[in-house]
Amino acid sequence: MGPQSNGGDVLVDAVREEVASGALAVTLAPSKPRRVRSGEPMSFAGELLIGLLLLGLPLLLFTQLIALWPSALAATAPGATSSSMPTVDWLFGVKRVVLSPDGALMLLVMLVGALASLGESSFRFVASAGSDELMARWTWSYVLRPIQGATLAAIVYFTLRGGLLGTDGTQRLNPYGLAAFAGLVGLFTRQAFQKLKRVFNELWGVEDLDADVEADSNLRLRRKRDGDHAGDAD
């Protein structure tokens, strides 16, 4: 034990001398910065409620989309009228209705928009839950997201039909194209909102105030950065 202990002490002393002289550089890997959580974490009951909402509501909307699809196909057929529309069995046959062609297409884009927004919310929920970053203040965001998706999808549908996005509102509609467009709006609600805002600004000749604020903020940031660089040079 004695010789082995002395040998170990000698080795430790040698490493210390090498580090002190700079011959041996010890580099520690930078630790990955952790996000600082702001706000109160979501309770277990809240996580369970939001999880069940993101699981059950898409399934319900998907079944209603299947029930509505024959009416959407009939609504885009040449010479479609209310008398040629099939019956829609809402809520598994609880309510049987016959929709007009325009009503069927409007419900189609709203259902797909809400369904797509729920899919986007489920991605965020899974990512946040996996990293233990679910905050209680996000609860209403998950609840209201499908309403935002459905509302924006309906507005974009009206904008398309009105020809305000550079499209011909008299062309024959394709239910698959409408569903795809509504799904993209539901997935990217923020980008769809920005597009509608630009259309409104161009239509009414209104300046984009947000763009002015962002440009002013970028200018101040650039001036501050240039000042910091000048100070470093001095």
CA neighbor of 72 nearest in space, from 178, 195, 166, 228: 178
pLDDT digits (tens, 9 = 90+) for 53-83: 999 999 999 999 999 999 999 998 888 888 8
Helix, strand, coil shares of the chain as percentages rounded to 5? Answer: 70, 5, 25
Q: Which residues contact 220 (CB under 8 A, 6 or more apart)?
A: none
Q: Which residues contact 129 (CB under 8 A, 6 or more apart)?
A: 47, 51
- Angle, vertex CA 190, rays to CA 186 and CA 194, nearest 5: 120
* pLDDT value, residue 205: 72
- pLDDT over threshold 60, residue 223: yes
179 C-beta neighbours (distance < 10 Å), count: 22
Residue 135 pairs in a beta bridge with: 41
177 C-beta neighbours (distance < 10 Å), count: 11
Mean pLDDT for 32-60 is 82
* pLDDT value, residue 217: 58
DSSP state of 24: S
Structure tokens at 15: 């490493």
Dihedrals φ, ψ of 33, to 5°? -65, 140
Question: 88, 71 in Cβ contact below 8 A?
Answer: yes
Tell me how far apart the 2 most distant CA atoms of the chain are, in Å: 102
* pLDDT value, residue 132: 86
Mean pLDDT for 200-215 is 66
pLDDT digits (tens, 9 = 90+) for 95-143: 999 999 999 999 999 999 999 999 999 999 999 988 888 999 989 989 9
